[in-house]
Structures are given as structure tokens and as C-alpha cells.
């Protein structure tokens, strides 16, 4: 790649900032061009700050979310870290509106769950059927992940899915008695 393939920032930063903040909008109130009005509009758009040899940051795509989900499901901590460092949204959505932390909880990848949470994953988000991360962890029966999610104090322990199931219902129906006992000891119905 040649240097011309990369974005070059303005040499006069203050001039570039002013140019990025002020835009003139031309409006036509009628079909008569003599009736044109010009209005200055201030925007919040920031100027490019890439230097001469820096490649502009890529916008993460849905494929990037799929890669993050795959790494989360398989417990690949290094790949999760790499993708997050590239700007993939930690709360991106995939099949049935699930987040990567939900997938990690379902697969019992507690280390990945903790990493995603430390990077801003919201365990209280719900998927298309109303499961949050606690529902997924209880469905799997992963005691350590359940304990971790409960320790965050952000998920309603009695939250119900669209089918009326609580996390305790899921643990009960799947035979995860230790998880069920923990939930009940924490006040679950």
C-alpha cells in the first residue's frame, strides 16, 4: 500500500476543527433560486486525527460480532481481547438478539464472562425470548458463572422470560439442584 492510500490530517488543526464544526446549509423555500437562504449550522463532528501513515479505523461489521461470539463460545480469551481492542461492540447482537456474554454464560466460559463484563458487557440485557445472562448461566448449571453474575447485583433474580420462566425455573427443569439451592438462598421464587 502506498502512503496516498492512507488519510492525511490537516496541518492546521485549529482551522480543521473550525471547518469540521461549521457547515453551511442551503435551503430553497421556493423554486426561485433568488429566494435561497444560507444558514450556518454547528455540528459536533470531530475532524480526522489520523496522521500521514495511519490507516483509518475500520467500522466493525456484523461479521466481527460473529467472530466475537465464536471466540466467547469457545473460551478463546486472547481472540476476545483482540476483537474488543479492534472496536467490536461488547454488547453486539447475534442470532435471536443474544450478546456474546450470554453465549459465554451458556457455554460455561466463566473467564470469558468476567472479561466481557470488565469490558462493559451488560448482563441485564435480554435476548429475543427474554433470557438474560443469569438465565443462560442457570440453564447451563454453571455454579461459578451464576455466582459471578449474582455478585454484580444488576440482574433481577426473578426476571421472567416471554414464556414466564425465571432463572430458578430453568435450573429446576434441567436438574441443576445446586444452582437452584443457591438461587433460593438468594431469595429467588
Q: Which domain holds residue 112?
A: 62-185
Q: According to the model, what pLDDT value does residue 90 have?
A: 97
Is there a single domain that holds both residue 144 and residue 179? yes
Task: Give the pLDDT of residue 115.
Answer: 98
- Which is it for strands 36-42 and 22-28: parallel, antiparallel or unpaired? antiparallel
In a domain, 88, yes or no: yes
The whole-number pLDDT of residue 148 equals: 97
Same domain, residue pair 130 and 94: yes
Give CA separation, 25 vs 31, 37, 39, 74, in Å.
17, 8, 5, 51
154 belongs to a structural domain? yes
pLDDT at residue 62, as a whole number: 60
Please indicate, yes or no, whether residues 95 and 16 belong to a single structural domain of this protein. Answer: no
Q: Verify that 97 and 149 share a domain, yes or no.
A: yes
80/172 same-domain check: yes
Domain containing 134 — which CATH number? 1.25.40.20
Would you say residue 112 lies in a domain? yes
pLDDT in 10s for each residue of the chain, 189 residues: 333 332 333 333 333 333 333 333 334 444 454 454 443 433 333 333 444 444 434 445 567 899 999 999 999 999 999 999 999 999 999 888 999 999 999 999 999 999 999 999 999 999 999 999 999 999 999 999 999 999 999 999 999 999 999 999 999 999 999 999 999 999 998
Q: Which pLDDT value is given to residue 71?
A: 96
State the pTM of this model. Answer: 0.67
Alpha-helical (H) ranges within 75-132 are 77-85, 100-106, 110-118
Q: Are residues 102 and 12 in the same domain?
A: no
- How many domains, in total, are found in the chain? 2
35 with 95, same domain? no
**Domain presence at residue 178:** yes
Whether 103 and 169 share a structural domain: yes
- With respect to residue 47, please indicate whether it lies within any of the assigned structural domains: no
Q: What is the pLDDT, as a whole number, of residue 61?
A: 56
Amino acid at each position: 500500500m502506498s502512503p496516498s492510500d492512507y488519510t492525511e490530517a490537516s496541518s492546521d488543526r485549529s482551522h480543521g476543527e473550525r471547518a469540521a464544526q461549521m457547515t453551511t446549509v442551503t435551503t430553497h423555500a421556493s423554486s426561485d433560486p433568488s429566494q435561497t437562504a444560507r444558514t450556518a449550522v454547528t455540528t459536533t463532528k470531530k475532524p480526522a486525527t489520523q496522521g500521514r501513515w495511519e490507516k483509518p479505523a475500520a467500522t466493525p461489521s456484523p461479521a466481527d460480532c460473529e467472530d466475537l461470539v465464536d471466540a466467547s463460545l469457545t473460551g478463546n480469551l486472547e481472540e476476545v481481547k483482540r476483537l474488543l481492542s479492534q472496536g467490536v461492540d461488547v454488547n453486539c447482537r447475534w442470532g435471536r438478539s443474544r450478546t456474546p456474554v450470554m453465549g459465554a454464560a451458556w457455554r460455561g466460559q466463566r473467564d470469558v464472562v468476567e472479561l466481557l463484563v470488565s469490558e462493559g458487557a451488560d448482563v441485564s440485557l435480554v435476548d429475543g425470548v427474554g433470557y438474560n445472562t443469569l438465565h443462560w448461566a442457570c440453564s447451563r448449571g454453571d455454579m461459578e458463572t451464576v455466582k459471578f453474575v449474582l455478585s454484580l447485583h444488576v440482574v433481577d433474580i426473578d426476571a421472567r422470560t416471554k414464556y414466564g420462566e425465571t432463572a430458578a425455573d430453568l435450573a429446576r427443569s434441567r436438574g441443576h439442584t445446586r444452582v437452584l439451592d443457591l438461587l433460593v438462598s438468594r431469595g429467588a421464587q
